[in-house]
Chains A and B, each alone.
Chain A
Amino acid sequence: MQALIEELKRKIVAAVNLQEVKPEEIKEDEPLFGAGLGLDSIDALELVVMLERDYGIVIQEQTVARAAFTSVRSLASFVSEKRKK
């Protein structure tokens, strides 16, 4: 799980083009949106595309996306459960 968490941090930084943030600076339990990393709704959609491209997980409902993106840790458990590749 820890390896997946680190992998996801790198992918998040790349997917939303965070130029000033290093992957290791993202805290596992920090909210990805709003107060924590400060991502917004369009970033969330870029992450949805990343999940589809890299893990074969297709999300079409906002509610699913919102639940998955609470933190990097929640995202990692979502991915390990749903991944197709």
Chain B
Amino acid sequence: MTRRRVVITGLGIISAAGCGAGEVWQTVRNGRSGLRPLTLFSSPRYGHVPVGQVTADVDRLAGNVRGSRSDKLAWIAAREAVADAGGTLPADRQGVVIGATVGGMLGTEKFVADRLRNRRASFGVLRYHECGASANLIARQLGARGPVLTFSTACSSGAMAIGAGGELIANGEADAVLAGGCDSLCRLTLNGFGSLLLLDPQGCRPFDAARAGICLGEGAAVLVLEAEETAAARGARVLAMLSGWGASCDAFHATAPQADGSGALAAMRAALARAGLSPAEVSYVNAHGTATRDNDAMEGRALRELFDGTMPPVSSTKRCFGHTLGASGAVKAVVCVRALQDQALPPSAGLGEADREIGIEPVREYRPATVRHVLSNSFGFGGNNVALVFSQTAAATPATASGRIAIVGAGTSAGDFVAEVNPARRRRLSRLQQMTLAAAKRCLPSGVDPTRTCVAMGTALGALNEATAFVENLLTKNEAEPLPQRFTNSVHNALAAQVAIEFGLKKLNSTATCYEASFMAALWHATQELRAGTASAALVGAADESNAYATETEKRWGLPSMAEGAAVFCLATNPYPARPLAYLTSVRLGRDVEMPGGMDVVVSKGAPVVGFQTALDKIEAGCRRAAVFTVAADGQKALCVLEG
């Protein structure tokens, strides 16, 4: 049996480089900068640093949809992608997978500012706070009935979403997936990257000897991914193929990349392996190329090692867009597909004198070339690395048979975590991170090989306490004396990344942020890696903590108050590193998921992660088959089945 091939049939994008793939490609092929002065909000401290702000009227373009600026950007890109793919897609087996890092933070900042100044604050914006809102909006607008997922792995989020979308198609869970990323500019990220001394007031200059940091951007890009056969059946035009995706984790540091490039290299190799390609077959690399000193040096080292003396053309297009964070991997995907379509290479915008120490002479001028396979890198905080491969055409890859997935460990933690975290590490960890580490420690059996283990976490509110503390500080002090530690801990994937750092877990590191479905999405992602054989064990969990704003909002809206705590489970394929507690036979998400018959127990109340523990307890007590079946507020169902 082979896996289905994934074709790309539509592109949608809105960015500082333009709206629509055609306009964007003009900017990119001319190597034009999309950077300009910030006008979206004022920043006393960083207002002098240019940004890739979208100048189009986002509210007008989005029409009558409600949501944050991020949501609207995402919807504009998704709508264009669907139109590009022919206007209509079958809704019943259609999924939506989006990567995002800030969600509705721009609106939340205004809410926090109003509260701090004792002005009447509108709670309405908080409905669009979470990163998952964008994917839900797209699904609602299109009537998509398949899985709706959101991943938040910092600057690799968009690439992670595209990889996950490819997985849904390849394994037959969806026939069409809207996959991409979005992020709007906001004070949190501008001041955050500023507090890390990573902004370049002269505009980002990737791979340049004098490069001094990034410039932030905003926007959204969405691809229509389809199964080759269903696309052919509806007569769709194929733009390119998504032939490979691969992820890895540095398991090294919260923000700094591992300097030897080994993490980045592992992701690139995994993506090429999934595509069935050798490095020599790569025609072009669209680098992550953020223009920080560390990223570009590290990426150069990884590319030199991968290509071993026969470096293909490389460029970074970050200056055209700014670093669009959660959208970046998707924005780059549009560039890669256009390079394949046009059989041409885009230049590395903003390059003066190439840094000799990096050892790459990036493409300087747009030029025609034979482009068969394109590699696109995205590296995020926490060493969350993702590489994608786009191809003119690619061979089908065989399905792997990994055997049964067992649950071999379970750990929970609520208030009782402090003693288990090493004090030297603890000084830098947030409360939620400590809680998560304690749960992970309790679940991890000693026989697990860390280098073959992936991590997938789900969180609804994530590091909201860190983000609000950072934002309150910048608003009260007029952006003086920022809190860099709070910022680095404010990214949603910091939990999963800290778990990886603690135990040296080097495979996929994923964070799902899709409301009540977050844990099930994490479970889904981990099982993909285990089934594909790219990992032999997985830590899968969920963590959330209480937050003053969230508690107030719950009261006001009459919502049940969210419990806090962390739970982590260890999954593994045969040979099992510890005695199996139960076997996981199915994980499914979407509106049309049905409850299978023959269950001894069905857990359908409460948080899915708690239900999972309950089902596990039932199996241990002698039950044969137990299911966790939940319906989220947006109507998406999630199911997993455990067997004894």
B-binding residues in A (CB < 8 A): 16-20, 40-42, 45-46, 48-49, 52-53, 59-63, 65
Contact = CB atoms under 8 A, between A and B. Distances in A.
28 contacts: A17-B428, A18-B427, A19-B426, A20-B423, A41-B253, A41-B256, A42-B254, A42-B484, A42-B485, A42-B488, A45-B195, A45-B197, A45-B484, A46-B485, A48-B197, A48-B484, A49-B195, A49-B481, A49-B483, A52-B481, A60-B197, A60-B199, A60-B201, A61-B212, A62-B198, A62-B212, A62-B293, A63-B212
Given A40-B253, A41-B256, A42-B485, A52 B195 contact: no
Interface of B: 194-199, 201, 212-213, 253-256, 293, 423-424, 426-428, 480-485, 488
Nearest to B293: A62
- In this complex, the member of A42, A61, A65 whose beta carbon has the largest number of chain B beta carbons within 10 angstroms is A42
A20 B484 contact: no
Contacts of B488: 42
Nearest to B197: A62
Nearest to B256: A41
B9 to A, nearest CB: 43
Given A45-B195, A48-B484, 8 more contacts: A40-B253, A40-B256, A42-B488, A48-B197, A49-B481, A49-B482, A49-B483, A60-B194
Nearest to A53: B481
A61 B427 contact: no
A53 B480 CA distance: 8
Ranked nearest first, the 7 interchain pairs of A and B with the lowest CB-CB distance are A45-B484, A17-B427, A62-B197, A53-B481, A52-B481, A49-B481, A41-B256
Contacts of B485: 42, 45-46
Contacts of B254: 42
Contacts of A62: 197-198, 212-213, 293
Interface of chain A, main secondary structure: helix
Q: Kindly name the residue among A18, A49, A63 whose own CB sees the greatest number of chain B CB atoms within 10 A.
A: A49
B480 A52 contact: yes
Contacts of A20: 423-424
Contacts of A19: 423-424, 426-427
Contact of B197 (A16, A40, A61): A61
A49 B197 CA distance: 11
A42 to B, nearest CB: 6
A75 B201 CA distance: 25
Nearest to A48: B197
Nearest to A56: B480
Most A CB contacts (10 A, CB to CB) among B213, B482, B485 go to: B485
Contacts of B428: 17, 42
A61 B198 CA distance: 8
Contacts of B423: 19-20
Contacts of B426: 19
B414 to A, nearest CB: 24
A8 B483 CA distance: 19
Nearest to B428: A42
Contacts of B198: 62
A32 B222 CA distance: 45
Given A40-B253, A48-B197, A16 B483 contact: no
A42 B254 CA distance: 9
A40 B428 CA distance: 11
Nearest to B196: A45
Contacts of B481: 49, 52-53
A19 B253 CA distance: 20
B197 A46 contact: no
Nearest to B194: A60
Contacts of A59: 197
A63 B212 CA distance: 9
Contacts of B424: 19-20
A16 B212 contact: no
A79 B186 CA distance: 32
A52 B473 CA distance: 14
Contacts of A46: 484-485
Most buried by B among A16, A45, A53, A61: A45
Contacts of B255: 41-42
Nearest to B488: A42
A20 B423 CA distance: 8
B484 A49 contact: yes
A16 B427 contact: yes
A26 B212 CA distance: 31
A61 B292 CA distance: 12
